Structure 1
Amino acid sequence: MVRMDNDMPFLLQYENVAWYDNGKVRILDRRVYPTEVRFVDCFTYQEVVKAIADMVTQSAGPYTAVGMGMALAAWQVRGKSESEQNAFLQQAAYDLAHARPTTANRYGQITYRCADLAAKALAEGKDPIEAIVESTVESLNRRYSTMQIVGDHLASLIPQGGTILTQCFGETIIGTVMRAARKQNKDFRVFCAETRPYLQGARLTSSCFAQMGFDTTVITDNMVAYSMEREHIDVFTSAADSIARDGHIANKIGTFQIAILAKYFGIPYYVTGVPDKDKHTKDDIVIEMRDPSQVLSYRDIPNTVEGVKAIYPSFDVVPPHLISGVVTDKGVYVPYTLDHYFDSDVKVFY
């Protein structure tokens, strides 16, 4: 099988996201990268669920992890009756899909497809683990291929020699827009908002751009207005964890305020991704509330005195009037027209 992770930075190589091998799933611990290159070994699918919930991997990483987690579930229940295996895999599909609530619909497309393929393999006397791993790699290839089209569209919106501002870690779109820029002989500077409290923008996004030779600068989250005014930002862009059909999008907390600043300074904001067919309005987007203690410290070093409280909503919902365009594999849509994305029979894979 031809893989689509060629010419991608370290973080986007399939084995460096999540990988099943002989009774375990190996997941790169993005919480400590690049300070340390460390992998977390999961020996049950339940440990994969916990790893996703604990942010060992995030952005698009869980799309790979849940598929590999389904292969691990099949390994856990090997040797049982066909009915027991199918029941176990259905439960695993649900549990893995709901590792994080905001993107449960997207994870579920992967996990239930894996469960169906496993049931078919069992009925035919074949190895369900092999079928699940193969399906997960095929899903990765489809996602990378689809996002390459998105990356091509986004690169065309970035001026030659211009400067873009990113938020959080857009994962696949980062790799594909860099490949597109090379193909188009286009160069640009990158400013990465650090993205508290996990610093994905500083640790992950900037690492990818710098490793691929782009002029990369990290700013703290409260330097955005200064940078937009004085550093000649041409485009603000982010991926989205959810894109509702009414044009609202959910992305890492902090995106909303950057979008407001972009509007103020007249800088276009382009969201990248594929709309969610089953999310019609912003009311269908569930905001995950994480442990507030993660705001009060970083890598176990307290930032506050005892008794200080915190909140930690994982995502912002950005309204469509702040979004210049939603860049998809079918082109760039005005956010109010996203329903037209589904006019034709389109199969969406994650």
Structure 2
Amino acid sequence: MHREDHGLAELLKYENIAWYEDGVVRILDRRVYPYEKKTVECRSHQEVAQAITDMVTQSGGPFLAVQMGMALASHEAKDRPVEERMAYLAEAARTLSQARPTTAEKLRLMTDRSLAAAHIAMENGRDLTSAIVADAIETINRRYHEVRLLANHLAAQFPDQGVVMTQCFGETIVGMMLLACREQGKTVRFICPETRPFLQGARLTASVIADMGFEVHVITDNMPAWIMAREQVDVLTSAADIITMDGHVVNKVGTFQLALAAAYHNIPYFVTGTPNFEHESVESIVIEERDVEQVKTHLGRSVVREGVNAYYPAFDITPPKLVNGVVTPKGIFSPYDLKTYYGEGDVSTVVV
């Protein structure tokens, strides 16, 4: 099998996202990368779910992690009768898919794939765990291929010698858009807001960009509006945790204010991803509220005095009027016309 992660930064290699082997799922800890390269070892599917909740992996990482978690669940139940084993896998699927509430529907698509692979293996007398792992690798390889198509459309919006501002860490999309820039013969400079409190922009996006040989500057989260004008930013881009069918973008908190600043400066904002068929409108969105202690501390030290409170919504919602285009593997769509993304009966299970 041709691996679609060829040529990408080490952070984006399959084995460095989530990998099952011999009763253990190993996940590269993105909370501390790049100043520490540490792997979290999960010995139960519940530990995989907790790792996802705790942001050990994020962005597109949980899609592979939940499938590897399903392989681990299969291993946990290997000595049970077949019916009990399948019931155990169904329960594991519920646990894993609920690890991040806002993206539960996307995660459920992945656990459903694993359940289907297990059923087929059971009917054909094959090993369930191996079948789930094989399907997980096939799925991520297909997803990377789809992201490569998407990235070609995105990079086409970047002018040569242009300046692009990113938001948070778009995972595979970041690496693929860099490959696309290279293939299109474009020199592009990138600016990455840091993305508090986990600093995904500073630690992950900037690391991948630098690893792949492009110029990148990191800024704090209160600088973008000024920097957009001073550095003559050409394009703002982000991935999305959810793109509702009515064109709203649910992404890392702070995306909305970046889109507002971009609109003021007449900078186009292109969001990448596939519309979420399960979310017909923005009313279906539940915004995850995370532990406020993560806001009140930074790199292990408290930044507020005792008695000070905080808020930590993990995501915000950008309305379609601020989105210039939704970049998908099929091309660029208006946020007001996303139903045309899906042909008759074409509800894709490739999560981008």
Q: Normalising by structure 2, report the TM-score.
A: 0.98
The residue aligned with 1:192 is 192
The residue aligned with 1:242 is 242
Partner Cα distance (2:238, 2:209) in 1:
14
Partner Cα distance (1:270, 1:329) in 2:
13
**Which letter does structure 2 place at the counterpart of 1:29?**
D
RMSD value, Cα: 0.8
1:8 aligns with 2:8: yes
- What's the CA shift for 1:299? 3.1
Unaligned runs of 5+ in 1: none
The residue aligned with 1:326 is 326
Partner Cα distance (1:318, 1:339) in 2:
19
The residue aligned with 1:82 is 82
- What's the CA shift for 1:325? 0.5
For the 8 Å contact 2:193–2:221, the answer to whether it is kept is: yes
- What's the CA shift for 1:119? 2.2
Partner Cα distance (1:312, 1:174) in 2:
25
The residue aligned with 1:210 is 210
- What's the CA shift for 1:187? 1.2
Q: Secondary structure at the match of 1:210?
A: helix
Q: Give the alignment of 1:127-146 within 5 angstroms.
A: 127-146=127-146
Partner Cα distance (1:344, 1:217) in 2:
44
Unaligned runs of 5+ in 2: none
Q: Secondary structure at the match of 1:102?
A: helix
- What's the CA shift for 1:337? 0.7
Aligned-residue identity in percent:
50
The residue aligned with 1:349 is 350
Partner Cα distance (1:300, 1:158) in 2:
38
Q: Secondary structure at the match of 1:47?
A: helix
Partner Cα distance (2:28, 2:231) in 1:
34
- What's the CA shift for 1:344? 3.9
What CA deviation, in whole Å up to 9, does each residue of 1:225-261 have, x standing for no partner?
Answer: 1101101100000000000010001000000000000
- What's the CA shift for 1:287? 0.7
The residue aligned with 1:317 is 317
**Which letter does structure 2 place at the counterpart of 1:257?**
Q
Partner Cα distance (1:85, 1:2) in 2:
32
For the 8 Å contact 2:109–2:349, the answer to whether it is kept is: no
- What's the CA shift for 1:298? 2.0
Partner Cα distance (1:330, 1:55) in 2:
30
Q: Secondary structure at the match of 2:101?
A: coil
1:62 aligns with 2:62: yes
What CA deviation, in whole Å up to 9, does each residue of 1:164-199 have, x standing for no partner?
Answer: 000000001111111111111111000001001100
For the 8 Å contact 2:247–2:335, the answer to whether it is kept is: yes
**Which letter does structure 2 place at the counterpart of 1:224?**
P
1:25 aligns with 2:25: yes
- What's the CA shift for 1:132? 0.4
Q: Give the alignment of 1:82-231 within 5 angstroms.
A: 82-231=82-231
Q: Secondary structure at the match of 1:157?
A: coil
Partner Cα distance (1:240, 1:230) in 2:
27
Partner Cα distance (2:66, 2:87) in 1:
17
Partner Cα distance (1:181, 1:212) in 2:
11
Partner Cα distance (1:120, 1:153) in 2:
36
What CA deviation, in whole Å up to 9, does each residue of 1:247-286 have, x standing for no partner?
Answer: 0010000000000000000000000011101111111122
Partner Cα distance (1:96, 1:175) in 2:
26
Partner Cα distance (2:165, 2:221) in 1:
11
**Which letter does structure 2 place at the counterpart of 1:11?**
L
Partner Cα distance (2:2, 2:278) in 1:
31
Partner Cα distance (1:160, 1:236) in 2:
15
Q: Secondary structure at the match of 2:317?
A: strand
Q: Normalising by structure 1, report the TM-score.
A: 0.99
- Structure 1 residues 116 and 343, CA gap change in structure 2 (3 angstroms): closer
**Which letter does structure 1 place at the counterpart of 2:188?**
F
**Which letter does structure 1 place at the counterpart of 2:276?**
D
Partner Cα distance (2:152, 2:226) in 1:
29
**Larger deviation: 21-30 or 284-293?**
284-293
Partner Cα distance (2:282, 2:85) in 1:
37
The residue aligned with 1:300 is 300
- What's the CA shift for 1:342? 1.4
Q: Secondary structure at the match of 1:71?
A: helix
- What's the CA shift for 1:126? 1.1
